[in-house]
Amino acid sequence: MSGAQMFLVLGAILLLSVLLLNTNRTKLLNEQQMSQSEYTIAATAVGQSLISEINSKSFDAATTTDEKAAVSKFTAPRSLGHASSEVYPNYNDVDDYHKLVTKISTPRAGEFDLSVLVDYVNPATPDARSYVRTRTKRIRVVVSSVFMETPVNLVYFKSH
């Protein structure tokens, strides 16, 4: 083999190496994105499941016994949360879930950490917390996992 042919062979091997490295990098990035998508979908499903559970409860402790309870009878904003006698998952109204932190395991995606915040909001400004009782509560569920880059944030509004 002459020197020119040797350089052509080395050049071809170099080009093949660069092509294989780029192909492997692309494949790895695609697999990571697929994994993140799968975890995000599973986290969303777990969060939606908890929101459905919360939504099935009464709007407030006052409405568990009197569906037509006046707003003034609702739980005070600073008192949101479960009573000392209530233990998850045996809550009876929406604001019992305020500051709930729990873990849910799934067969495929592993364990997710969930945290819940419940606030009163004014329907005209639903992004701002209300410091007075209203007929609308905002339920925020944050779902995270060690396998996810960013947590999933879900928001639901329940009105009475």
Q: How many domains does the chain have?
A: 1
CA 73-75-76 angle, to 5 degrees, is 105
- pLDDT tens across the length of the chain (160 residues): 677 888 888 888 888 888 888 888 888 888 888 889 999 999 999 999 999 999 999 999 999 888 889 999 999 999 999 988 899 989 999 999 999 999 999 988 889 999 999 999 999 999 999 999 999 999 999 999 999 989 999 999 999 8
Give the three-state DSSP class for 92.
coil
Give the three-state DSSP class for 139.
strand
DSSP E strands, 1-151: 101-106, 110-122, 125-130, 136-144
Closest CA to 81 of 61, 66, 55: 61
Domain residue limits at 8: 3-159
Say how far apart CA 138 and CA 125 lie, in whole Å: 11
DSSP E strands, the chain: 101-106, 110-122, 125-130, 136-144, 152-159
Q: Which residues pair with 144 in a beta bridge?
A: 113
Output the pLDDT for position 8: 86
Place of tokens 């707003």: 71
Q: Which amino acid is at 48?
A: Q
Output the pLDDT for position 108: 85
Strand duo 136-144 + 152-159: pairing: antiparallel
Query: pLDDT tens, 72-112?
Result: 999 999 999 998 889 998 999 999 999 999 999 998 888 99
Output the pLDDT for position 78: 94
Say how far apart CA 135 and CA 121 lie, in whole Å: 8
Say how far apart CA 138 and CA 126 lie, in whole Å: 8
